[in-house]
Structure 1
Amino acid sequence: MKMIKYLEDLREVKVSENREFFSATHEEIKNGATTDVYFLRTQDILKHLGIDGKVVTAEIFARKNGIFAGLPEVKSILKDKNIEVWSINEGETFEPKETVMRIIGPYNEFGTYETVILGILASSCGWATAARELKEAIPDKPLLCFGARHVHPAVAPVMERAALIGGADDASCILGAKLAGKEPKGTVPHAAFLIAGDTLPIAKAYSEITPDDEKITILVDTFKDEIEESLRVAECLGDRLYGIRLDTPSERGGVTASLVYELRQRLNQKGYNNVKIIVSGGLTPERIKELALSGADAFGVGSYISDAPPIDMTMDIKEVEGEPIAKRGRIPGRIENKKLKRII
């Protein structure tokens, strides 16, 4: 597919009737197929006037505070263009109206990509910020992201990578973890226990096929009372057991602080002080803080991260040929930020 820059280029955009997935390919993103069409009309008009090559300074700011993520993808969009790009670092915090990125160069080099750039940053920053909110509630305890089941698979790796940038310690999505330089982490789902008909056969098999240096965590809420099942599993696996996972469904009241506290005490009474309690299921920063105080050791969070709203990003033209300018309501000229570093 050729680069889509002007309205006449739309004739070249063909969608196969046999297309299997609706998500954009890397090539389609880079070639402009996911931009808003009015940016093509803008290029047509500016070209007609002979001013599409004017050098402009464009700045991107966020509408609320958050954690910055998505920078590598934006760099991939803008590389090889005749422009300068300045940005804050991934993982850094930003405040409302703070300049997080600045692009300097001929408008026809990058204007078409405004939709794409803002979309990358809005979603990635939203997911990273949600992960940071969770991590700040439990700074000394592990946080695992497994929100891939809540989003389209095309963006699941993007989401889980952003969560790791924001503060999650690990991720369960294979590609998401690998993109962040980590190995995916996870245990065993309810499906395995339901098919076997009992928790212990799965626990034993898990132990038998897993290398001795890998940690084993067993889900305990499938068939029996969580505390009864935890003690059965602990007795069965002994020192081989690293942790038990509570994922009690909302239909049964979810995982409560009282349940976690009782389980911790009963495990300790039986000599299983080293067995960790891992909690998942509808967790929020407030809930995980409460559960941590009751004895939970680690947390698996999906929907709080995956459902995080994008952080609205805005791109403004602030200079044209070196002269300050802005739409009404904004201040003409660059908004300086000492955290900006040149990346292109």
Structure 2
Amino acid sequence: MSNPFGTVTPDAILEGTATDAYFERTRSTLEHAGKNPHVVAEVTADQFPTGDFQVLTGIEDVATLFEGRAVDVDALPDGQLFDGGPVMRIEGPYLEFAELETSLLGLLSQPSGFATAALEARLAAPDSLVLSFGARHVHPSISSVVERAALLAGLDGFSHVAAGEILDRDPGGTMPHALMFCFGEGNQADAWRAFDEAVPEETPRIALVDTFWDEVSESLLAAETLGDDLDGVRIDTTSSRRGDFRHIIREVRWELDARGHEDVDIFCSGGLGPDQLRDLRDVADGFGVGGHITDRDPIDFSLDIVEISEGSEDPSSGRTQSDGPSEPISKRGKLSGVKEVYRTSDGGHHVALADRDGPEDGEALLEPLVRDGEIVREFDLDEASDRCLADAEAVGFSDRE
């Protein structure tokens, strides 16, 4: 069976069949009527700034989507924060990209939501190790999308093996409760000792210490078992049993220190979000965050035509080009006309018509992405991450919590 998990194939996305049916019917209707207008379309979430900044990502995938199509695309840089106005502009014959709208929005909406949630976690514990543990909450075919979004937002790593192969990063994580169950209660030391003997030397020795007994008892046993080889302990106590989680962590820290194990780190996981990270960041060394990232709703992007003109075929190239004056256009509730967005020195986000002057100290954010079907931008995840964190500081993203 060529597609055993029933996922939509890359070819379907690139060819435009991963679309809503009404776009196919739109094509049939326009071709029947002999119409293919030259348009400018914009991708937006909010028309005006609301003060609620979000992270944009998925740009590289969109560039791949438009490669080879007779359109020009401008977009914000990967990892840029935005607050109202367009994040992307597409110009060309409408039928060059009509069926791509569904995939285009999906390529931006879900990863941007993941990245925004991951940025919240990152800034909640800026000096702690924070890993993405959320791949188990999504379809495995998009696990690398989750993990890339987490890295872009500044998280220190992730746990998914196949995503690591795609992103050329080593996955993190050590042992599950299942390993402890396989050795049985009373044999925790055997489990940790076997783990130490089996895994590569570069793998951190992080013992899971909340399986059978209380967290203090298992932490002390792990320290006694592995001695100086123990790098840390992980507490993953389910929320229904943990009581005062902060007190538990402080108690573990106290008892480890009292026995000379000051170098053993404490890592926490299990249903943690920014509120918990802010509360625990001074007593724990690191965190695994899952559901907070993967449970985030996609950002509600839409694509709207904002300018239109008649199109005609260029005899020299066979491509459709603009023929006649362009007119601003929009549906009710949306803003007509081609727009630009700006970042000002005070971190403000401004929207203005592209043919008018922007703010005096404003930097225009939309940059060329595709020109006549050719990708004209290079992509680097580390640079995008640096951009995301710097822009978050510039706009005061963490101040909203």
In the superposition, the TM-score normalised over structure 1's length comes to 0.90
Question: Which residue does the alignment assign to 1:35?
Answer: 19
* Contact kept? 2:74, 2:369, Cα under 8 Å: yes
Residue 62 (structure 1) aligned with residue 50 (structure 2)? no
Describe the superposition over 1:294-313 as per-residue Cα deviations: whole angstroms up to 9, x where unpaired: x1110001111111111100
User: Shift of the alpha carbon at 1:254?
Assistant: 6.1
State the AA in 2 paired with 1:207.
D
* Contact kept? 1:246, 1:255, Cα under 8 Å: no
Question: Which residue does the alignment assign to 1:226?
Answer: 215
State the AA in 2 paired with 1:329.
G
Secondary structure of the 1:245 match is strand
State the AA in 2 paired with 1:25.
T
State the AA in 1 paired with 2:137.
H
Residue 334 (structure 1) aligned with residue 338 (structure 2)? yes
Describe the superposition over 1:32-87 as per-residue Cα deviations: whole angstroms up to 9, x where unpaired: 232100011111122122222x2211110124631111112111111111111111
Secondary structure of the 2:280 match is helix
User: Shift of the alpha carbon at 1:286?
Assistant: 0.3
Distance 1:284 1:51 in 2: 51
Question: Which residue does the alignment assign to 1:264?
Answer: 253
Distance 1:45 1:136 in 2: 50
Question: Which residue does the alignment assign to 1:8?
Answer: none
1:35-114 to 2 correspondences below 5 Å: 35-52=19-36, 54-63=37-46, 65-95=53-83, 97-114=84-101
Describe the superposition over 1:142-189 as per-residue Cα deviations: whole angstroms up to 9, x where unpaired: 111111111111222212222222222101112323333321111111
Q: How many residues were matched structurally? A: 325
Distance 2:24 2:123 in 1: 43
* Contact kept? 1:127, 1:166, Cα under 8 Å: no
Describe the superposition over 1:259-307 as per-residue Cα deviations: whole angstroms up to 9, x where unpaired: 11111111111111111110000101001110113x1110001111111
* Contact kept? 1:70, 1:120, Cα under 8 Å: yes
Distance 1:181 1:89, change over 3 A: farther
Distance 1:207 1:231 in 2: 17
Distance 1:206 1:296, change over 3 A: same
Secondary structure of the 2:35 match is coil
Distance 1:160 1:103 in 2: 28
Question: Which residue does the alignment assign to 2:198?
Answer: 209
- In structure 2, runs of 5+ residues without a counterpart are 47-51, 310-325, 342-363, 371-401
Secondary structure of the 2:169 match is coil
User: Shift of the alpha carbon at 1:212?
Assistant: 3.3
In the superposition, the TM-score normalised over structure 2's length comes to 0.78
State the AA in 1 paired with 2:175.
V
Distance 1:242 1:215 in 2: 6
Structure 1's consecutive aligned runs of 4 or more residues displaced over 4 angstroms after TM superposition are none
* Bigger mean CA deviation after superposition, 240-249 or 27-36: 27-36
Question: Which residue does the alignment assign to 1:5?
Answer: none
Describe the superposition over 1:73-109 as per-residue Cα deviations: whole angstroms up to 9, x where unpaired: 11111111111111112211111x2211111111111
State the AA in 2 paired with 1:175.
A
* Contact kept? 1:280, 1:299, Cα under 8 Å: yes
CA RMSD of aligned residues (A): 1.7
Q: Structure 1 vs Structure 2: percent identity of aligned residues? A: 40
Residue 169 (structure 1) aligned with residue 156 (structure 2)? yes
State the AA in 1 paired with 2:168.
G
User: Shift of the alpha carbon at 1:207?
Assistant: 1.4
* Contact kept? 1:254, 1:281, Cα under 8 Å: no
